[in-house]
């Protein structure tokens, strides 16, 4: 198993409240890893460590190490802007920019120095195709992204994340605001993306975790309780706590 992300003794506090407790995990490259667990267990906090989004929260303190491609991302020399370019993020609620569809995708490459119109056109088309959205919007690129449906907006946000060529895509409950049809499209997209990208998805939906992921991590009260292949976690969990959660006895 080629490891893309590794945490060693990762702990995190918001002020005096400890949200992560000594988390050690190795997340494989170009696979889908799902993180499951009850609300407030630290799932979102954990993935927000992978692109240092917790840095922007006041009184947040991190201990331990996180390696991406064997580089310590909390090293003082790390360029956080470059890190976030490499580690894209898709949030729970679709959040397209209040611009047209084309500009939603072209915005980030422009900031990173791509000025050539032909090159921007290529990036926009490629990313919309990768996000299974091109056929639906190719004649509407100058229309506002806000006019898209919720599912289309979420796929646009995924396309936007792809525009700066990340290696890793983090998804924080990307389907929780969507209907079943839109959810099915996102799940198909997640499986497709894992051929080229390392995908880490936080989900409260265990059926979704079992459908889309090859590996699953179960968290409870800030601790990583169990991590393994999705099949093993769902069919033969080693920890009683994992089994209780998966069978619905609590959570």
- 172 and 190 Cβ atoms separated by less than 8 Å: no
| Each residue's pLDDT tens digit, 195-237 | 999 999 999 999 999 999 999 999 999 999 999 999 999 999 9
Tokens 């992204």: give the residue.
Answer: 145
CA–CA dist 91, 161 (Å, integer): 11
Degrees (nearest 5) of the Cα angle 44, 45, 47?
65
Average pLDDT, the chain: 95
Mean pLDDT of 40-50: 96
Q: By three-state DSSP, how is residue 31 classified?
A: coil
Q: DSSP secondary-structure letter at 116? A: -
Give whole-number Cα distances, 6 to 49, 54, 126, in Å.
11, 17, 30
Structure tokens of 105?
């995708």
Is the pLDDT confidence value at 251 over 70?
no
């Amino acid at each position: 198993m080629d490891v893309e992300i590794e945490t060693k003794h990762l702990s995190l506090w918001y002020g005096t409240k400890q949200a992560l407790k000594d988390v050690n995990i190795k997340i494989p490259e170009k696979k889908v890893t799902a993180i499951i667990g009850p609300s407030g267990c630290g799932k979102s906090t954990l993935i927000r460590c992978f692109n240092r989004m917790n840095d922007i929260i006041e009184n947040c303190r991190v201990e331990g190490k996180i390696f991406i491609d064997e580089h310590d991302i909390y090293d003082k020399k790390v360029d956080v802007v470059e890190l976030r370019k490499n580690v894209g993020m898709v949030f729970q609620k679709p959040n397209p920019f209040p611009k047209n569809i084309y500009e939603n995708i072209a915005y980030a490459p422009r900031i990173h120095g791509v000025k050539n119109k032909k090159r921007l056109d290529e990036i926009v088309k490629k990313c919309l195709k990768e996000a299974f959205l091109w056929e639906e919007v190719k004649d509407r690129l100058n229309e506002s992204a806000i006019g898209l449906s919720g599912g289309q907006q979420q796929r646009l946000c995924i396309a936007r994340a792809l525009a700066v060529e990340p290696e890793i895509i983090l998804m924080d409950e990307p389907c929780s605001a969507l209907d079943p049809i839109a959810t099915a499209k996102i799940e198909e997209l997640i499986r497709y993306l894992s051929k080229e990208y390392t995908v880490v998805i936080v989900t409260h939906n265990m059926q979704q975790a079992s459908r889309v992921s090859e590996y699953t991590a179960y968290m409870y009260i800030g601790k990583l309780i169990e991590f393994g292949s999705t099949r093993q976690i769902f069919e033969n969990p080693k920890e009683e706590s994992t089994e209780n959660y998966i069978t619905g006895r609590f959570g």
